[in-house]
Amino acid sequence: MNKNEIIQSLEEDLKSVTKLPDLFNVKAKYLGKKGIVTELTSNMKDLSNEEKKEVGKFASEVRMEVTSRLEKVQQEIENQILEEKLTKESIDISLPAKKISRGSRHPFNRIIEDVEDFFVSMGYDVVDGPEIETDENCFQRLNVPIGHPARDAQDTFYIDSEYLLRTQTSSVQARTMQNNQDKTPIRMICPGKVYRRDDDATHSHQFGQVEGLVVDKDISLADLKGTLELFAKKMLGENTKVRFRPSYFPFTEPSVEVDVSCFKCGGTGCALCKQTGWIELLGAGMVHPHVLEMGGYDPKVWTGFAFGTGLDRLAMFRYEIPDIRYLYTNDMRFLKQFDRKDEENEIK
Residues in touch with ligand PHE (CB under 6 A): 168, 170, 211, 249, 252, 283-285, 306-308
Sequence-distant (≥ 6) Cβ neighbours of residue 287 within 8 angstroms? 173, 213, 215, 251, 252, 303, 304, 305, 306
Exposed, middle or buried, 295 (CB in 10 Å: 0-12/13-18/19+)? buried
Q: Which of these, 325, 348, 347, 201, lies nearest to 264 by C-alpha position?
A: 347
Q: How far is the CB of 104 from ligand PHE (least distance, A)?
A: 29
CA-nearest of 130, 265, 268, 250 to 190 is 130
- Nearer CB in complex with ligand PHE: 192/267: 192
Output the residue with the shortest Cβ distance to ligand PHE: 308
DSSP state of 96: P
Least distance from ligand PHE to the Cβ atom of residue 309, Å: 7
Quote the Cα angle for 188-114-105, to 5°.
Answer: 125
CB of 252 to ligand PHE, least distance (A): 5
Secondary structure element (H or E) that encloses residue 78, with its range: helix 49-89
Residue 207 CB, nearest approach to ligand PHE (Å): 10
CB of 99 to ligand PHE, least distance (A): 44
Shortest Å, Cβ 249 to ligand PHE: 4
**Closer residue to ligand PHE (CB): 236 or 281:** 281
Give DSSP secondary structure letters for 235-288: HH-TT--EEEEEEEETTEEEEEEEEEE-TTTTTS--TTTTTSSEEEEEEEEEEP
Half-sphere exposure of 150 (CA within 13 A, CB side): 15
Least distance in angstroms from the C-beta of 232 to ligand PHE = 15
- Burial string for 96-124 (b: 16+ CB within 10 Å, else e) reads eeeeeeeebbebbebbbeebeebbeeeeb
- CA-based nearest residue to 276, from 292, 262, 293, 257: 262
Q: CA-CA distances (angstroms) from residue 250 to 149, 170, 201, 287, 323?
A: 10, 11, 28, 10, 30
Smaller CB distance to ligand PHE: residue 30 or 134?
Answer: 134
Question: Is the Cβ of residue 66 or residue 224 nearer to ligand PHE in the bound state?
Answer: 224
CB of 247 to ligand PHE, least distance (A): 8
Q: How far apart are CA 302 and CA 16, in angstroms?
A: 103
Among residues 134 and 252, whose Cβ is nearest to ligand PHE?
252
How far is 153 from 92, CA to CA, in rounded Å?
66
Cα 59 from chain centroid (whole Å)? 74
CB of 156 or CB of 261, closer to ligand PHE: 156
The residue among 168 and 176 lying less far from ligand PHE, judged by its C-beta, is 168
- Compute the least distance from the CB of residue 310 to ligand PHE, in Å: 8
CB nearer ligand PHE, residue 26 or residue 177 = 177
CB closer to ligand PHE, 10 vs 154? 154
